[in-house]
Structure 1
Amino acid sequence: MFQTPIRPSNESIIWRYIGLDKFIDILLTGTIKFTLASIATDKNEINWILKNLEESKEFETHAESASKHIKNLRNSTYISCWTMKENESRSLWATYLDSTKQGVAIKSNVGNFIKAVDWNKFSFSYAIVDYRNEFHFEELQNNIVIINTKNKAYEEEAEVRFFITGLDEIITQFDKPEIKHRILMDYLNGTESHKKIISLKIDLDLLISELMISPYSSDWQKKNIIQLIKDYKPELLDRISNSSVNE
């Protein structure tokens, strides 16, 4: 019997490691991006479940419907991924920064993230990702389980996942019933006519408790990042910290 993934407490500390380009976007736009699961950095996001189920006795009979269901979820679920760790992680700097190794780590907690985001008309949920190497066919009945389960190889991420489902976008963004119906049919048929990214306004002052600059930044690069913060969000200057990684 499957269990619904656990929600973290509001006090749980979370981090987001991002490259300099994404950090600049957050500063300039005051928004946070929820990305469609099908275009996430992990190309096997949700999709790994199908490979895992191929050996099950039910898969041969239900392969087509299972594949369609997974595809629909990948094309209708928007995610924002954070790591739930008390302290900085060296390995996550390496995972999430590009070849320039420039970026920041944003420290917050679950409760402040929820309060900081302007959810507009969207409903949302969140959970601690469950890492395992087995997935049972009957678990396909529960979308929350599917969305928040990953292969054990990614366990180092210790992910907390905030997510919005595509049907919410359909219901809230259109007034005319005929338009809602057409987009709903596109969704059910797997036609990709919807947004790849949803941008939501966010209160950075409420969100950010600490802003750590990449340990791989040179002195002049650090100065440029600090100047950027001073120009666009000076109230965050006293939250800038140095990494404990010294390489």
Structure 2
Amino acid sequence: MYIHNKKLTIPEDPNTIIWKYMDLSKFLDLLLSNKMFMARSDKFEDQYEGTFSEPTYEEIKSISHDNPAFLDEYKQRRKNIMISSWHLNEYESFAMWQIFTKNSEGLAIQSTVGRLQEALAAEDRVDQYIGEVHYIDYKKEYIPFNDDFFPFLFKRKSFQYEKEIRVLTDVSHLGKPIHEGIKINVDINALIEKIYIHPKSENWYKRLVMELMEKLHFQFDIEKSDLESDILI
């Protein structure tokens, strides 16, 4: 279930809009399984994911000098922290369409922070936490140790365009190796407010998505991306 952690920063307004951009295959997997995929933190493309800034590393070195097992424990922890990434934005993002969907056959889930919290209540195996990502200068800025998910809520400033908010969970208590990630139970109807179709998609693709929703007995609002609206002259 979702657990509120006062040390993790999230928007105060539960109606704050969030997005998840994905291909149709991943979307169908979400609907058919009623489960949301969370990736292992050390499997992300960003090689700095879950690592330390330089000022933090200097402190880590002093800690590990007296406690050599600390770094080994931390490396193992990276394999046990699972993450689901969402985009925090009132509007669609052209960049997110480009990065997270292939060709012109992707879609975006529009949700809210409150809906995400409600949807996560369906999970009973592992606890989930939600936090905003902080973008810092890794050469100059310090990553604090004040929560259990340090440093998985920090990224380099060059990733600021992601405006990321994350669902995080620690699966170390499961006592088994996790390869790529885990799937957690979610309430699909609570999670999804609207579905937006890729701005470059053709009409047949929107009809296909609508037919799939009907056959799967979902009644989400389906919109064509606002980025492809008619030009007014």
* 1:208 aligned residue: 192
* Residue 169 (1) aligns with residue 151 (2): no
Q: Percent identical across equivalent pairs?
A: 23
**How far did 1:136 drift?**
2.7
Of stretches 29-38 and 53-62 in structure 1, the one that deviates more from structure 2 is 53-62
Q: 1:46 aligns with which of 23, 47, 50?
A: 50
Q: Distance in 1 between matches of 2:217 and 2:75?
A: 40
* Residue 114 (1) aligns with residue 117 (2): yes
Q: Distance in 2 between matches of 1:110 and 1:41?
A: 25
Amino acid corresponding to residue 215 of structure 2 in structure 1: D
Of stretches 86-95 and 63-72 in structure 1, the one that deviates more from structure 2 is 63-72
Structure 1 residues without counterparts, runs of 5 or longer:
171-182, 184-192
Q: 1:127 aligns with which of 128, 131, 137?
A: 131
In the TM superposition, 1:54-69 aligns within 5 A as: 57-58=58-59, 62=64, 67-69=71-73
* Residue 223 (1) aligns with residue 229 (2): no
* 2:151 aligned residue: 146
Amino acid corresponding to residue 241 of structure 1 in structure 2: E
Deviations 1:124-183 (A, max 9, x none): 21111100113437x35644331111111111111111110123434xxxxxxxxxxxx5
**How far did 1:120 drift?**
0.6
The change in CA–CA distance for 1:25 and 1:43 in structure 2 (over 3 A counts) is farther
Query: Aligned pairs, how many?
Result: 217
Give the CA RMSD over aligned residues. Answer: 2.7
**How far did 1:222 drift?**
2.1
Q: Which has the higher helix share?
A: 1
Q: Distance in 2 between matches of 1:29 and 1:66?
A: 38
TM-score with structure 1 length normalisation? 0.77
Q: Distance in 2 between matches of 1:245 and 1:76?
A: 38
* Residue 76 (1) aligns with residue 75 (2): no
Structure 2 residues without counterparts, runs of 5 or longer:
1-5
Q: Distance in 2 between matches of 1:113 and 1:57?
A: 37
* Residue 18 (1) aligns with residue 22 (2): yes
The change in CA–CA distance for 1:111 and 1:199 in structure 2 (over 3 A counts) is same
**How far did 1:31 drift?**
1.3
Q: 2:142 aligns with which of 126, 129, 136?
A: 136
The change in CA–CA distance for 1:204 and 1:41 in structure 2 (over 3 A counts) is farther
